[in-house]
Chain A
Amino acid sequence: MSKTISIPSNISPDKDLGTPAVESENTVSVSIDGRAITVPDGVSVMRAAALAGTDIPKLCATDSLKAFGSCRLCLVEIEGRKGTPASCTTPVEDGMTVITQNDRLAKLRRGVMELYISDHPLDCLTCAANGDCELQDRAGQVGLRDVRYGYAGENHLELETDHSNPYFDFDPSKCIVCSRCVRACDEIQGTLALTVEGRGFDSAISASVSQPFFDSECVSCGACVQACPTATLTEKTIVDKGQPDRSVLTTCAYCGVGCSFEAELKGGEVVRMTPHKHGGANSGHSCVKGRFAWGYATHKDRILKPMIRDSIDAPWQETGWDEAIRFAAEKFKAIQADHGTDSIGGITSSRCTNEEVYVVQKMVRAAFANNNVDTCARVCHSPTGYGLKQTFGTSAGTQDFKSVEQADVILVCGANPTDAHPVFASRMKKRLREGARLIVIDPRRIDLVRTPHIEAEHHLQLRPGTNVAVVNALAHVVVTEGLVDKNFVAERCEDAAFQRWAEFISDPANSPETLEADSGVPADEIRKAARLYATGGNAAIYYGLGVTEHSQGSSMVMGLANLAMATGNIGREGVGINPLRGQNNVQGSCDMGSFPHELPGYRHISDDATRKSFETRWAVSLSAEPGLRIPNMFSSALKGHFRGLFVQGEDIAQSDPNSEHVIAALEAMDCVVVQDLFLNETAAFAHVFLPGTSFLEKDGTFTNAERRINRVRPVNPPLQGLSEWETVCRLASAMGYDMTYPDAAAIMEEIAAMTPTFAGVSFASLDEKGSVQWPCNEAMPDGTPTMHADAFVRGKGQFMLTAYIPTEERSNRNFPLLLTTGRILSQYNVGAQTRRTHNSRWHDQDVLEIHPSDAETRGVREGDLVALSSRIGSTTLRAQITDRVPPGVVYTTFHHPESGANVVTTELSDWATSCPEYKVTAVEVAPSNMPSAWSRRREERRKRTSRIDVAE
C-alpha cells in the first residue's frame, strides 16, 4: 500500500513545498539541520526540508511541477557527498544528513541571486508583483545587499512587454528564464505552447514561434501566469488595480468540471480568480473561462431592477421587488383560474445552485400544484439519466476525475474535452502522455485525435447518427471473440438479461462488417478498437452530448454501459462510465428533482412513500402524475393549454431546437417570467423580468460531473438586492404557498433530510471537508469517489437491448449534408456570460466548418457568408473550410444568438427522454450575400421588445 505523509499541522496546506508529493510504500528517515524527519522514499531533499519546517530558497521549483534544477539557488550540503547538490532534484535516502544553511551555502546563494538581479529591473516599488514576487522574497531570504557587477552591462532590461493577450501581460524584461511557465504549459495544461528559445544569454521564453501570446497556440488557461515567480506574466487586473487584500473560496460557474477558485478581492471588487490548489476537481488548474472570464458579473448590460409589462410589445417598466412578484403571481393565478392548475410550469437552470433549483421545483410542485417542472438537462443529459438508471440504477457518473490517472485505455465518445471540459482534459492528456491508449468516436477530428505528444490509436470517424451502430459493433466483437469478463458478469450482473443481450448482440446484424455500411467506420478498425478496450487494462469511457443528443441518445448511453459491464470496466478506479456534463450544475439540477416525473434523488413521483414524505414535509398535497417536459410545454402552449412559464437562468429561445417553434410557443403564452442576469433572447417574450445573481453573489452548492458537491460562497451581496432562492420563495408565497427559509444553509438541510443520497451533506460539513461526492450518508460519511464498487445501485447490473435504428433525419437531394453542433473553448453555452468578456476576441462569431470538397462544389470560399438551410429554417454564417470535418458533414457552434444555429435544428428527439437531436440535421449550404430573413426578424424583434422605461 503506497502512502504519502500528511502535511504536519504546523505547516500551512497552501505552503509551496517545492517539489510534488511522492507516493511510496516505504519511508525513510533523514536529518535536516539536525532535525529528524520521516518522509516517503523518493521525495526530494527540498520537500523533506519544507515538511521539517525549513524553506530552502528556490526559484525554478514549485510543488505543482516536476523538479527542474536550473536556478541553482536551492543548493545544500549532504554529509558524505561532494559539492553542493540542488535539493530539488536530489531524492532523500535513509540516514541522509542535510545541511541547508551555512556560510558557504549562503555565499553561493547570494552569488547566484546577484547574477539574477544584475539583469532584472529594480522597479520593485512600482512593479505589479510588489508584495507577491518570489524573486523579491528570495533576494531578501538570501540576504542580497549588493550587486557587484553593476547594471550597465549587456542585459534584457529594455525588452518590450507583450500586451496582446486580453487577460495577462508578458514582460520579458522581468523574466529569469526559470522555465516554470514552459513546464506548466507542458505538464499541467498539456498544450506545449511555450518554449525556451536560444541558448545561454539569449535564452528567452517564446510563445509558439516567437509570436505574440494572442496569436500563438496558447489557450490562456493561466497556468503559466500562476507558475511565474516574478512579474513577467501578470494578470492585467493586477497590473491595473494592485494586489488583492482578501479572498473567498468558491466554485466556478462555467462547465461541469466545477473548479475551485480563490476569488481575490480589493474591497468588494474581484481582481483575480486563482485556481485552488486543493480543489477536488481541478487541483490548482484552470481554463480561460473560469480563470479570466468573470467580468460579465458586473457588465453594464446586467439588469439590476425587476421589470414588468403587460405585453411583450410594450416597453419594460422598472419596478420594485414586491410589485414584480405580485404582478407575476397575479398573472399565474389568473391563468390557472381560467385554464386549470396544469396550465403553468417552470424550468430550472443548471447554472444555478442546488438550493436555487430545489426551491423552483418545490414552488412548481407545491405552489403551482402540478409537476410541470423541467430543466435544461432535458436538452443535454436527460438520456444519461434514463440510460444509467436502467443499467446501473442511478443517474451518475461512476468515477472521480482523478480516476483517469489509473486508466490504461481511454474511450472518448461524442465529447470534446479540450474545448468543453478543458481542466479535466488536461488531466486526461497527462495520462495519455504517460502512455494510456486512446480511442475517439466522433464524426469530427477533435483536437484530442492528434495533439502534441498525443495521438488516438483509433479514431472511429462515424457518420452522424450512427453511434448505436458503432457501440453495438464494438460489443459484438467483445462477445463473439470471447472477450467478456465472465467473472464480473456472473458476479455483478443479472444473468438472464446478460444471456438475452449476448444472444442479441452476437447476431450478425450487429457485426462491424454489417454495420460498416451505416456507420462508415471500417470493420477492421472497430475490431481493433474493441479488442483494445476489452483487453488493454483499465478502460474508462468519457462521453458528452455527442452521445445523448440523438434520437437514440438513451440507447447509446445503455450501449456504453453494456460495454463497460461486459468487460468488467466498472466499480473501481481507472474505469467507468463518465458523462461530461455541459454546465456547472447539470448533475445537481437533475439530483434536485427538476424532472417532471421525479422528486429529488431520482424517485418517481408515483412512488407513494416518497411522495408522501414530501407531502408531509411541505404540508401540501402533490400530484402523482408526471408533468410536461420542455418540448411538451411548447407543444401544449401552441394548442393553448399551457400559458404561463417561469424560466430560471436559461435561454430557451436561443438554446432549444427549432427556434421558430419555441418562439411561437413563447408568444402564445400569457405570462413568461424570466429570472436572469441579462435581457436574453427569451426575455424578448417575457412579461416579468426578475434580476438574477451571478455566481459571485450566490450562497449555495454546485454538483459537478463527478457528483462532487462544492460550496459556492458569496463574494458580495446580491447586486440587485435579493438572492434568487428568496425571490422564488416570495413568488411561491404570493401564489398562496408559504415558503420561507432563514438562509441557503437551511435549504440544504431540507434537501439532506429529504434525499437519502444527500443525507450527510450540510454547509458545515462541506466547509470542513472541502467537498464530497454523493452518495454521502451514514454508510459513506466522506462521500463516494467510485460508484458501484461492490454492487450496482440497482443490485445487479442490467444489460439492455439496444437495436440500432437509423434516425429519421436523413440527408437527401435537397439537404445533402449533415449538420452537427458543438462548443468552442473560449465561449460557453449560449454565450450570455462569455460574450460579455474579452473571450469574444477568440470567437466573435459562430462559423460553419465545411470540408474543402463540399465547399468547392458549392463555390464557397474561406470566410464567405453562406446560407445554412434545413427543412425547418435557414440562417447565415461565415464558412470556415477545414478537413476537420469529413465530406458530407458540416459543423457549427451556438454561442452567438445572431448565428441562429437552432433555427435549422429539428423537432426530432431521443425516444425515451425527448432530448433534442441537435447532432444530426440534414442541411444544404449555399453562398449568400445578405443575412437571413430570420436574422432580420430577430434584429427587429430585439429592438421592439428590449426597450426599458427607466423608473424615476
Chain B
Amino acid sequence: MTDDDIIRMTRQIAGFFEPYGHDATVDGIADHIRNFWDPRMRADLLLLAEKSTDNLQPSVIEAVKRLTASD
C-alpha cells in the first residue's frame, strides 16, 4: 500500500472508534488492524510510523505502539 492509502485507512478507522473515548479508540484501532490487515500491511504502517508520524492521527500513533509491541 502507498503511504497515502495507509494514512487514509487509519484515519477512517480512528474516526469510527473516536466516539468510544480515547482508550477504547486506541484499542479498537489496534485490534481492527491486527484482525483484518495482512502482516505486510501492518509492516507498511509500522514503517511509515517510523519514518514520520506527521500525517497519522494521535490515536493511530498510540495504536501503532501497541502493534509494535505485539508484532
Contact = CB atoms under 8 A, between A and B. Distances in A.
B18 A641 contact: no
Contacts of A604: 35
Contacts of A551: 12
Interface residues of B, number: 20
Interface of B: 1-2, 5, 8-9, 12-13, 15-16, 18-20, 32, 35-41
Interface of A: 342, 372, 504, 551, 554-555, 596-597, 604, 606, 625-629, 632, 635-636, 639, 641, 801, 803, 805, 808, 907-908, 911-914
A596 B41 CA distance: 13
B44 to A, nearest CB: 9
Given A641-B40, A801-B20, A907 B5 contact: yes
Contacts of A625: 38-39
Contacts of A596: 38
Nearest to A641: B40
A803 B1 CA distance: 27
A694 B32 CA distance: 38
B16 A912 contact: yes
Contacts of A372: 38
B37 A626 contact: yes
28 contacts: A342-B40, A372-B38, A504-B19, A554-B16, A555-B16, A597-B35, A597-B36, A606-B35, A626-B35, A626-B36, A626-B38, A627-B38, A628-B38, A628-B40, A628-B41, A635-B1, A635-B2, A636-B40, A801-B19, A801-B20, A803-B16, A805-B12, A805-B15, A907-B5, A908-B8, A911-B13, A912-B13, A912-B32
A132 to B, nearest CB: 55
Given A597-B35, A632-B1, A635-B2, A911 B19 contact: no
A635 B9 contact: no
A627 B12 CA distance: 20
A911 B39 contact: no
Consensus secondary structure, chain A interface: loop
Contacts of A801: 19-20
B9 A803 contact: no
Contact of A803 (B5, B15, B35): B15
A102 B54 CA distance: 95
Given A907-B5, A911-B9, A632 B38 contact: yes
Given A625-B38, A636-B1, A911-B13, 10 more contacts: A604-B35, A626-B35, A626-B38, A628-B38, A629-B36, A629-B38, A632-B1, A907-B5, A911-B9, A912-B32
A808 B36 contact: no
A555 B17 CA distance: 11
Nearest to A595: B36
A635 B5 contact: yes
Nearest to A913: B36
A312 B39 CA distance: 30
Given A626-B36, A632-B1, A808-B8, A911 B41 contact: no
Contact of B16 (A606, A627, A629, A911): A911
A554 B9 CA distance: 14
Nearest to B18: A803
Nearest to B17: A801
A913 B9 CA distance: 10
A372 B1 CA distance: 15
Contacts of B38: 342, 372, 596, 625-629, 632
